[in-house]
Structure 1
Amino acid sequence: MSIIYLRRSVRKYQQREVEDELVTELLRAAMHAPSAGNAQPWHFIVIKSAEKRQAVAQVHPYAQMVLQAPVAILVCADLNLEIYKGFWVQDCSAATMNILLRAAELGLGTVWCGVYPNEERVKNFRKLFDLPENVVPFSLVPVGYPAETPKPVDRFKADRIHFEVW
């Protein structure tokens, strides 16, 4: 079965470090995502320290699993790199999805924690990571070796498909 169908959100992780080479591979996959005009407006912050992960858990109510994950990746957009205004959201979404898919292929667990467009989260992450004004924190991806294995779910819904018109 394709990794697309097997990938699931993982929120529990083993107490085991993720090798730097694997983190680099996740970032390499992220940077191979398509982007509008090939702008590649993304930047990534790799978060490993327990102190910083604790701070993240305090500012993001739905990212408590970051306390168990040995590493997290903050996907950001540099608005100065935009070619087509506003398409950075799609670009960073594709980069985030590539991280999730590559992690699943490598036997790692991840979960997509949204930051943007929640204004309070954006403000808190901007402050926590000392981001310049032109950089927008988009998503947070905790990464670790899974301590749970959610079963695949068939999400195909034929009634959501329309041909030619609604």
Structure 2
Amino acid sequence: MDVLEAILSRRSIRKYTDEPVTDQEIDMILQAAMAAPSSGNARPWHFIVIRNHETLDEIARVHPYAGMLPQAKVAILVCADEKLENHPGRWPQDCAAATENILLAAHAQGLGAVWIGLHPESERMAVAKKLFGLPDSVHALSLVAIGRPNEKKLPPHRFKPERIHIERW
């Protein structure tokens, strides 16, 4: 799958089969995540790979939009260590770019994934900090549920030419 096909056909997948996601697939996804652009090339991200179903179930119990986690075979928590930033306060953009790369890399490998937001909701971030023992300087941006798709969604048509402006508004 080429990059444009991946971008234009990727969908949020919330239903998964019982088939496993391999360590090799996760490794490729994490390589893609770490290839994301970042402010000042700081790359402040850290990733926690979660396969423990008790942990995934716990998150689903406390996060209002994480109901798919009990079905997921794996999830990746995307975090940033503010001590690694070159430009303070830019970690959310850096981690958002890494999260998007995770979604695209999963899709390119035939996996389904969905972005579960944590930042800027302080309660959701606090749950992640406590559950995963994050240091004070580390903040969770997102959690990505991943599995083999058990639903098929058609590519959306989201292009809106009326939102394009040339030279000026």
Taking the aligned partners of 2:166 and 2:8, their CA distance within structure 1 comes to 24
Match for residue 13 of structure 2? 10
> Does the 8 Å contact 1:41/1:82 carry over to 2?
yes
**Displacement after TM superposition at 1:59 (Å):** 2.1
Unaligned runs of 5+ in 2: none
**Displacement after TM superposition at 1:53 (Å):** 0.6
Match of 1:73 among 76, 98, 104: 76
Unaligned runs of 5+ in 1: none
Match for residue 23 of structure 2? 20
Match for residue 109 of structure 1? 112
Is the aligned partner of 1:43 residue 2:51? no
> Taking every aligned residue pair, what percent have the same amino acid on both sides?
54
Match of 1:82 among 82, 85, 91: 85
- Mapping of residues 141-156 of structure 1, within 5 Å: 141-156=144-159
Cα deviation code 1:1-22 (max 9, x no counterpart)? 6111110000000011100110
Taking the aligned partners of 1:58 and 1:143, their CA distance within structure 2 comes to 18
TM-score for the superposition, normalised by structure 1: 0.98
Match for residue 29 of structure 1? 32
Taking the aligned partners of 2:148 and 2:135, their CA distance within structure 1 comes to 32
Match for residue 165 of structure 2? 162
- Matched residue of 1:96: which SS? helix
> Does the 8 Å contact 1:59/1:125 carry over to 2?
no
The two structures, once aligned, show a CA RMSD in angstroms of: 0.8
Q: Which amino acid aligns with 1:77?
A: A
**Displacement after TM superposition at 1:86 (Å):** 1.3
Taking the aligned partners of 1:160 and 1:60, their CA distance within structure 2 comes to 33
Taking the aligned partners of 2:19 and 2:74, their CA distance within structure 1 comes to 10
Taking the aligned partners of 2:168 and 2:115, their CA distance within structure 1 comes to 32
> Does the 8 Å contact 1:70/1:143 carry over to 2?
yes
Match for residue 139 of structure 1? 142
Displacement over 3 Å in runs of 4+: none
Taking the aligned partners of 1:100 and 1:162, their CA distance within structure 2 comes to 28
**Displacement after TM superposition at 1:56 (Å):** 1.1
Cα deviation code 1:47-75 (max 9, x no counterpart)? 00111111111221101101100100000
TM-score for the superposition, normalised by structure 2: 0.96
